[in-house]
Structure 1
Amino acid sequence: MRAPSRLLTCLLLCSASAFAQTTAPGLWAIQNKMGGNPELDKAMAEMQKQLAAMPPAQRKQMEAMMGQNGMSVGAGGAVTVKVCITPEMAARSELPSQTEGDCTSTIISRTGNTLKSKFACKNPPTTGEGTYTFSGDKAFATKMVMQTVRNGKPETMTMEGQGKWLSADCGAIKPIQPPKQ
């Protein structure tokens, strides 16, 4: 079974890095569903098919391995990543940022409970914008549109997701260290 692509991981964590509004510290689950890319949809469906076809012991081992990294794949290819927000990060409105792919994220505007941001990654070259709508300090919904180039052809993808606070204790999930300035 192939692991989720670096692009998917980048997009999930780039979305996590932008939702700094007023956020409760602790363990968060960020779930995203990609769309607009038939090749990615096919790869996610194949991954789910392979996981379902595994013997129960092997499937349990694979799910445990993904879980140790705070990741799971749900129905319809929705990917959930758990992230840890430290009290210091929450106090500074700083959230985990992507350390792979040489990504930057910028907040464009904050109005009421809505935040708009944009991001750019160099590896793979990807840009996008997203809108985050907060429901207090323990939940948000997001919609993103991203552009990338794959095999020399431009692609546009969408991502819809949600984040929810799980607990004040991050357990085994370690905070992602911000990139060095």
Structure 2
Amino acid sequence: MRPLIVLLFALPALACAEPRAGLWEFTSQMQHGGQAMPDMQQMLGQLQNLPPEQRQMMEGMLAQQGIKLGGSGVQLCLSAERLKAGDIPLQNEDSGCSHEITERSAEVWKFHFKCPNGEGKGETRFQGDTAFTTTVNGVYDGQPSSMHSQAKWLGEDCGGLPSR
């Protein structure tokens, strides 16, 4: 489900009409095949339990993609230039996923996505320029899948995380 997760964390960042540049944190609850998937806190706990060299390697791989696991979720640094241009990577380029925005307003964006192993639709709702929620439903690997995520703006300082 990795390509789907990358798509779903990044897609809502583009949605807000006037999002703030800087560090954003995404948390989520996912289900696949009727079973709850580990949430961000559980994944962070598993990362902390890795041997130091493995944890450092994993954190380095994520950082190269502009992603940091910290706080209570996944953190991304979004640059003002990319936000203004609407040029935000919506999924890992190697994932084979695509998306289409089907409806767009200042309060709600609706979208459809398709990946090699699944497809679905979702909706993002905005609470101003510093928070939004996204709900996604679809089928992945032949199983029903859903995700509900929250995003919040943490501030302008990205703490050394490269901008996306």
Query: TM (normalized to structure 1)?
Result: 0.68
Q: Which runs of 5+ in 1 are unaligned?
A: 75-79, 177-181
Pick aligned residue for 2:27 from 23, 26, 31: 31
Show the counterpart of 2:121.
129
Measure the CA separation in 1 of the matches of 2:80 and 2:48: 41
- 1:48–1:170 CA distance, 2 compared to 1 (3 A): closer
- Per the TM alignment, residue 136 of structure 1 is displaced from its structure 2 partner at its CA by 0.9
Number of aligned residue pairs: 156
Show the counterpart of 1:116.
110
- Per the TM alignment, residue 53 of structure 1 is displaced from its structure 2 partner at its CA by 10
Show the counterpart of 2:95.
101
- 1:28–1:114 CA distance, 2 compared to 1 (3 A): same
Percent of aligned positions with the same letter in both sequences? 25
- Per the TM alignment, residue 103 of structure 1 is displaced from its structure 2 partner at its CA by 1.7
Pick aligned residue for 2:143 from 146, 155, 158: 155
Pick aligned residue for 1:85 from 73, 78, 84: 78
Query: TM (normalized to structure 2)?
Result: 0.74
- Per the TM alignment, residue 101 of structure 1 is displaced from its structure 2 partner at its CA by 0.7
Q: Which amino acid aligns with 2:85?
A: R
Show the counterpart of 2:18.
22
SS in 1 for 2:145: strand
Tell me whether 1:51 sits opposite 2:39 in the alignment: no
- 1:147–1:14 CA distance, 2 compared to 1 (3 A): farther
- 1:96–1:175 CA distance, 2 compared to 1 (3 A): farther
- Per the TM alignment, residue 40 of structure 1 is displaced from its structure 2 partner at its CA by 6.0
Give deviations 1:98-134, integer Å, cap 9, x for gaps.
1231222221112341111111123xx2212111100
SS in 2 for 1:90: helix
Show the counterpart of 1:71.
69
Show the counterpart of 1:179.
none
Larger radius of gyration: 1
Q: Which runs of 5+ in 2 are unaligned?
A: none
Q: Which amino acid aligns with 2:111?
A: S
- Per the TM alignment, residue 21 of structure 1 is displaced from its structure 2 partner at its CA by 3.0
- Per the TM alignment, residue 88 of structure 1 is displaced from its structure 2 partner at its CA by 0.8
- 1:24–1:18 CA distance, 2 compared to 1 (3 A): closer
